[in-house]
Structure 1
Amino acid sequence: MTAFRVIIPDDEWSLLEFTQNDLPGVAVVNTSLHGFEPKEVFAWHLSLMLNFEELIDNGMPSQLEREIVDPFCERLESEIRGKDKQKPNALFLARITWNGTRELIWRVFDPELPHFHLQEIINSTPPEYPRTFDYQMDEDPEWKLAEWHLSHTGN
């Protein structure tokens, strides 16, 4: 196994407004991950898609919906990253709101940890989540799945 020296950058956020299929979208992207190396340490791309219920114009969530969903998203951001800030299991890449959905994206070191955690949440009784969600985790050591997010933030 190859040993790597990894320096975890402090988060830096950029706001990106976009239009896709004639609907507005908003992305908050962690631009500190531009040029991050060694990419292969966080070789897994985790995308979680949550479905909003209360919408206003153009598929955007209402204020009340954001008040319901945001605390859950913030909890997930923290739990998936892990407790050790110096050696996190995941780096938070982006939060995207578009067309009645919120997508949360991480770059992950050990995929089994967030998979197990998310399965526990999904199978919880009573449900520990305010809205339905699904997730997908793909091995992506070259960060190809993160290119759009990192290339559209002006850095």
Structure 2
Amino acid sequence: MKGIPDPYYSLFETYIGSDPAIVVVNSALLQFAERKDFPWHLRIGVHCAMQGENGMPTAEEVDSLSHLERLIEPAIQSDDNAIFLARITARGERVLLYRVRNPERANETLQALISVSEPLREWEYQMEHDADWLLAQPELELVIQASTSD
């Protein structure tokens, strides 16, 4: 198996409906040839406790969300079991999207993290089998649209 590509992050200021959204996409996954090895789509949703205008987190909240991400990301990505796809901040929520190789191992890791007695923020996750990467298309499409509009 070929290696996982080094991430290349693209930042988008966009909208979900009429609500502002900040989306960071790992655009290196557009050309990722080994997609079949990561057939599971993981969505982690984190409720923003402190919100400013239009449901966007305050600066203090961004710090808390970033801290939580720094706990989740290395745990879920250990042994190349997951690849970061995107981060979406909108409507009072931070959403982390990953592509996963082994869902059982990811589930065990996430259950251990979620069972912390005093979590930094309320969060939940769901994993779906998505061998064709259809659930990843909205985020990857942002990158495609940006590259064709230049």
Same fold (TM over 0.5): yes
Structure 2: unaligned runs, 5 residues or longer: none
Residue correspondence of structure 1 range 5-154 to structure 2 within 5 A: 5-82=1-78, 84=79, 88-124=80-116, 126-127=117-118, 129-153=119-143, 154=146
Aligned residues: 145
Q: CA RMSD in A?
A: 1.2
Structure 1: unaligned runs, 5 residues or longer: none
Which amino acid is 2:122 matched to?
T
> Offset of 1:40 from its aligned partner?
1.3
Does the aligned pair in 1 maintain the 2:13–2:23 contact within 8 Å? yes
CA–CA separation in structure 2 for the residues paired with 1:36 and 1:81 = 17
Name the TM-score, length of structure 1 as normaliser: 0.89
CA–CA separation in structure 2 for the residues paired with 1:47 and 1:137 = 6
Name the TM-score, length of structure 2 as normaliser: 0.91
